Structure 1
Amino acid sequence: MKKVVNNFPDNFLWGGAVAACQIEGAYDEDGRGLSTSDLHAYSTKLDRSNIEKEGGGTLQEIKQMIEDNDSYFPKRFGIDFYHTYKSDLSLMQELGLKAFRTSISWSRIFPNGDEKDPNEKGIEFYDQLIDEIIRDGMEPVITMSHYDIPVNLITNYGGFANRKVLDFFVNYAKVLLERYGDRVKYWIVFNQLNLVPHIQFGSLGLYEDESDNMLQLMYQAVHHQFVACAKVKKMANEISPNALIGTMVADGTMYPATCKPEDIVFTMKKNRMQYFFTDVQLRGEYPQYALRFFNDNNISLKFLSDDEELIKNYTMDYIAISYYYSKVADSTKNNMKPFDGEQNPYLKPTLWEWRADPLGLYNSLSQYWDRYQKPIFITENGLGAIDVVDENNEIHDQYRIEYLKNHIIQVKEAVKDGANIIGYLSWAPIDIVSSSSAEMSKRYGYVYVDQDDFGKGTKDRIKKDSFDWYKKVIETNGDNL
């Protein structure tokens, strides 16, 4: 008989996660080309509680942004990690991280995306970065595509809706596996592959007037990413057999707004269309409920002859999830659009209306484990907040400690139930530019970066109270919360 598990496993990967497009900067150095994230301008008129999309626009608007020299584009500058990565990683080593997740900027390796040969300066930077992560005692967890699609692949090809972009991506992935496969075990192919249509620009490379039927175009692009993942897995088996290739989703599990049967069934259907992304990649085929959804919505996807065989034979090794909040679904107010839901009246709002729900993390982890019986990697979880530096140059972020503690407690509950959870990577261990709002004021880190929403400041790094707290969590393998 199996023994009851009461603690995190000894090899549990406690860590932190960032993204190249939010941290690196140096957007115009060493041959890097413009990417989707470089076109997300900061706005002082931002409505934090209602952010519908991250950048993008019509094709004409995108071309105008490329030529825009007046607006401020924070993700072009990040926190200058491109030049400060050694000292920043030294702080992560002091924190005791066992794993560090970051991404590779596609446009730093292939500036236009469609070149035959990679940019050697970009290759060399990630050689040095990955080596530094390992020297500092951390397992590198690398995302291949995190909202960093070369702009040329959008303006001249139409993004992942175009089958050619799938081939360009596979060529890019092949370079990564061949160059870094001897040092990187954990790979994520696409960040939050299911976070559509909110991030269809950064994730799929689609512009808003690309088609009269954007829903079909979106799911066609997603299909091409499914095939790309399978091809990456196939390549990894040959190039780096010890590599683990994961798919990543933003958790969108919802609760019914009421116990009305209509709300319960509607919520089940919405949740099922969230599981669609992982059903395809972990079970190896398109589920019947998704085919029915496509038929009901006049969506007709184009498959090449070997697409289904690739998806069937090369499923992902693990599921990575991001989790921040939960919502409820109301059959009278909401529709089947992904993530369309209502705020839970039993949960307290933040400035960004992301209502913390630790029990929701336990619920979601349990659902994923029961459904797939595949390893789960929590690759994002954290609290974005306004942090204040006091007169003693200290940041007392007890609110962040409480948020993280309560979520880690629920991760442990899932582990006790038998869920195979690889690790917990909090977002983000150092303050970075926000993905959703392109502001610096929304801070997640254990380390404060003295930089404002327009990139001004000393850039000094200051450890917050949460730094010492998380360090103890790691040292005690989650026993001391």
Structure 2
Amino acid sequence: MAVQNALCKSSILVSESSRCIHQADFSSSQEMLERRRFDFPKNFVFGTATSSFQVEGASREGGRGLTIWDHFTMTPGKILDNSTAEVAADQYHRYKEDIELMKELNMDAYRFSIAWSRIIPDGSRRTVNMEGIAYYNRLIDALIEKGITPYVTLYHWDLPLTLHESLGGWTNREIVKHFAYYAEVCFASFGDRVKHWITFNEPAVFCLLGYGKGVHAPGRTSDRTKSAHGNSSTEPYMAGHNVLISHATVVEIYRSKYKSKQAGTVGFTIDCEWAEPLSDSIEDKEATERRRTFQLGWWLDPIFFGDYPALMRRSAGDRLPHFTEDEKLLLRDSLDFIGLNHYTTRWVTSQPAPSDPANSDFWWDQGALTTVEKDGVLIGEKANSCWLYIVPWGIQRLIEYVWETYKVPIYICENGMDDCNNLDLPLGHFLNDSRRVNYYRDYLKYVHRAIENGADVRAYFAWSLLDNFEWAEGYTSRFGLYYVDFTTQKRYAKDSAKWFSKFLEPKVADPCQ
């Protein structure tokens, strides 16, 4: 993602040898010792995550086609530091080195995304790029050789540019068949080894920021100071509708053609801040429920109940597309697990409806305003990103709410925090990331509490393995467990990496027992 960087997320919803991660001893931390990996369920999966566009680089190698994000980064003023992801963290060439880092972390799994344009350069159903197939085969085989389970996301925002230019991207229903073809190529090529698939990552982000606010690719918005094209009132809903149908279509293909032989599972990952009412007033409580519905129900209600929430329909009217009866049947129960990306929590208060409903949009339709302050006190310590405040208890409440509402297994697919990439500071400043250590320790404590309370949580992925290209923020923000020097591409273990290595050590048998 991890990050909805150029717009506050509240608007939507040493030397190289320092990679040795046993130099710091965190065993004196009583708080850490309260919970370790062996306190979680026996088969609980711990992993870390990245996305193809943010880490791979090699944007013009191996037959890869251009994406909407390649085009967006080349547009002056769109990226905070005017950078591109042409090299990023260079994982395309350094994947074996990065897998060794995962082993040092004692991680069980790696969640990564496949670049659609590396498999099918123009995104269409014409040509499959065998160099791209070969690269991901090498990556998957290298992971498995080291005992690390691959979790694969099919779409993490990097739409092939040709599909945007020829179809209008996710706003065109024709995209469903192109995504289905791409997904099936992946199932056929990698499904003998990949058993955990995620169709989409954070659809709300690319639908709302790409087709509503215009601050992410492809940059469409009603704001003519930002773009000459787009309709913020309708296009995010249109894009989301086609995403849902694409997801259900792909799951049907997997279940009908591949599941019996490959025995894998398919999920769908959404991002969600937790929302709490600012006051005890009925208005704020109702606004909070609307906020949760627009973040969670928009995506999950069609899958579990066959249609959008009635509350959304009342607010958005016919700007929210309608499913056919066949589409409703296709959508029902079309996932095996819910992926949750969670970083922060907000207070919510009521917002009056706009004077002209015809000019409303997703943000107005919610009838809710979010804030990080209550009675003059911040909800939590602020990280680097404008939207990210550290509120560990929110993850427990979110998990329990999702579990009680939908009753399917939950994977925490992203969780983490960022620091500012101030190049005037010495390397040691970034490596001594005690705040990130505390973040992970505290958030995992509340994940564990949710499990103790009965929620079926099966995996946790820390965002992110590496510092990387953070979308509209470029390289100004660092989320990684490993510091990346983007000039030399050297990786350096932060204290958070060392903490995870210790946290994830297997339990040693007590010789006195």
Match of 1:406 in 2: 442
Q: Secondary structure at the match of 1:144?
A: strand
Q: Secondary structure at the match of 2:478?
A: coil
- Taking structure 1 as the reference length, what is the TM-score of the superposition? 0.85
CA contact (8 A) 1:160 1:205 kept: no
Match of 1:468 in 2: 498
Q: Secondary structure at the match of 1:198?
A: helix
Deviation per residue, 1:62-107 (Å, 9 max, x gap): xxxxxxxxx9542222111100111111111121110100000011
Structure 2 Cα separation of the partners of residues 138 and 145 of structure 1: 21
Match of 2:474 in 1: 438
- Correspondence 1:270 to 2:270: no
Q: Which amino acid aligns with 1:198?
A: L
Deviation per residue, 1:130-185 (Å, 9 max, x gap): 11111121111100000110011111110111111111010000101111111111
CA contact (8 A) 1:450 1:460 kept: yes
Match of 2:398 in 1: 364
- Correspondence 1:186 to 2:222: no
Question: Taking structure 1 as reference, are residues 259 and 465 closer, same or farther at Cα in structure 2, changes over 3 Å only?
Answer: same
List runs of 5+ in structure 1 lacking aligned partners: 1-5, 46-53, 56-70, 452-456
CA contact (8 A) 2:271 2:340 kept: yes
Match of 2:241 among 223, 226, 229: 223
Shifted more, 84-93 versus 236-245: the winner is 236-245
Q: CA deviation at 1:386?
A: 3.5
CA contact (8 A) 2:416 2:462 kept: yes
Deviation per residue, 1:178-200 (Å, 9 max, x gap): 11111111111011122241244
Structure 1 Cα separation of the partners of residues 329 and 139 of structure 2: 36
Match of 2:372 among 343, 352, 355: 343
Deviation per residue, 1:403-450 (Å, 9 max, x gap): 1101000000001011111111000022211134122x4212221111
Q: CA deviation at 1:332?
A: 4.1
Structure 1 Cα separation of the partners of residues 367 and 116 of structure 2: 26
Question: Taking structure 1 as reference, are residues 378 and 199 closer, same or farther at Cα in structure 2, changes over 3 Å only?
Answer: farther
Shifted more, 252-261 versus 299-308: the winner is 299-308
Q: Over aligned residues, Cα RMSD in angstroms?
A: 2.8
Q: CA deviation at 1:25?
A: 0.3
Match of 1:428 among 459, 464, 468: 464
List runs of 5+ in structure 2 lacking aligned partners: 1-37, 223-227, 353-362, 508-513
- Taking structure 2 as the reference length, what is the TM-score of the superposition? 0.80
Question: Taking structure 1 as reference, are residues 472 and 339 closer, same or farther at Cα in structure 2, changes over 3 Å only?
Answer: farther
Deviation per residue, 1:196-239 (Å, 9 max, x gap): 41244799957336877433222122111111111111111121
Deviation per residue, 1:333-353 (Å, 9 max, x gap): 884459962223332222323
Q: CA deviation at 1:37?
A: 2.2
CA contact (8 A) 1:284 1:315 kept: no
Match of 1:106 in 2: 116
Q: CA deviation at 1:36?
A: 2.1
Shifted more, 298-307 versus 9-18: the winner is 298-307
Match of 1:49 in 2: none
Q: CA deviation at 1:282?
A: 3.3
Identity %: 28
Q: Tell me how many residue pairs correspond in the alignment.
A: 441
Structure 2 Cα separation of the partners of residues 393 and 221 of structure 1: 42
Q: Secondary structure at the match of 1:34?
A: coil
Shifted more, 399-408 versus 253-262: the winner is 253-262
Match of 1:60 in 2: none
Structure 2 Cα separation of the partners of residues 309 and 203 of structure 1: 32
Deviation per residue, 1:445-480 (Å, 9 max, x gap): 2211112xxxxx221111122222101111147xxx
Structure 1 Cα separation of the partners of residues 156 and 433 of structure 2: 28
Structure 1 Cα separation of the partners of residues 68 and 369 of structure 2: 24
Match of 1:27 in 2: 59
Structure 2 Cα separation of the partners of residues 380 and 400 of structure 1: 14
Match of 1:447 in 2: 482
Q: Which amino acid aligns with 1:28?
A: R
CA contact (8 A) 2:184 2:253 kept: yes
Match of 1:419 among 431, 452, 455: 455
Q: Which amino acid aligns with 1:17?
A: A
Deviation per residue, 1:292-336 (Å, 9 max, x gap): 2332xx415254562122112x52111001111111222148844
